[in-house]
Amino acid sequence: MIIVQILGGLGNQMFQYASGRALSERLNQLLRLDASGFANYQLHNGFELSRLFTSSMDLVTPDEMKAVLGWQASPSIRRLLIRQKLTVLRNDRFIVEPHFQHWTGISGVPKDAYLIGYWQSEKYFKPIEKIIRVDFTFKQPMLDMNQRIAQEIDQSNAISLHVRRGDYVQNSNTLATHGVCSLDYYQAAIQYIAERVVRPNFFVFSDDIAWVKDNLKIYFTCRYVDHNQGTESYNDMRLMSLCQHHIIANSSFSWWGAWLNPNQEKIVIAPKKWFANGNDVCDLISEDWVTL
């Protein structure tokens, strides 16, 4: 059995699930999700995968956790074993992502394993891309405003543009780690698209639309999308995925918005500087995407 710890916002959860799913497929093992960390998690919208997607995403039971980890299954023990200095105490089934880049050691993971990490690389699940796309089929039909915007997207050369500020700006620790994409990045990305797409129609998604309107100049047809709030915010990702091309932020949310678009000819522009702290993102950005 493969158990994957699920934590973070929707984009993080999708990376964790996709990587665990790929491993379970390769090893022909059941996949279980550990969402227990959301009991005291105050950010974002909690555990969202089962609510949003059609795939069966089963949560691990205490007995299953114990069968895989033994005495290390205790939540308090697991929290301790995440620490780097206690690596030596982990059994070979307790797998903690060692670094941000794609970890080739995942190929040697045993058939029963518990995975902790972000696993933010398409390389983990590229071999089962078709399965992941089916798993991430949204459950609910689009209604009202989202349905109308989806029709506008379908009838134009639609470009999704995502500006993430929110917690990136408001939390000093998060800002120090992630930083925010510069206006120069967005202006360069818009210019890049304009030189390659006839009559581009920009659909702008952001958690701070007012700031975007005041600061980012878009001299093309533009639609600001700001009505999907709270538990409905996932619909922004859904609408992004319907666009033909994408300008993403340094955010796993818009990364997935772009990735879920199946168009082989899509242009995806991503920021070359993803982290303010200098983390190497060479395995995060898909090979055919453009970095600016």
- Identify the band that residue 233 occupies on the pLDDT scale cut at 50, 70 and 90: very high
Give the model confidence (pLDDT) of 151-161 as tens digits: 999 999 999 99
Cα distance between residue 20 and residue 180, in whole Å: 29
Cα dihedral 268, 272, 278, 280 sign? positive
For the chain, give every domain's residue range. 2-135, 144-291
Give the model confidence (pLDDT) of 174-197 as tens digits: 444 557 899 999 999 999 999 999
> In the Cβ-directed half-sphere of 99, how many Cα atoms lie within 13 Å?
11
CB count, 10 Å around CB of 39?
9
CATH number listed for the domain at residues 144-291 = 3.40.50
CA-to-CA dists, residue 128 to 14, 32, 178, 265, angstroms: 14, 18, 29, 20
Cα distance between residue 2 and residue 115, in whole Å: 8
For the chain, helix (H) and strand (E) counts, in that order, are 12, 10
CA 46 from centre of chain: 14
Residues 46-56: what's their mean pLDDT? 94
Give the model confidence (pLDDT) of 98-143 as tens digits: 998 999 999 999 999 999 999 999 999 999 999 999 999 999 999 9
Cα distance between residue 180 and residue 47, in whole Å: 25
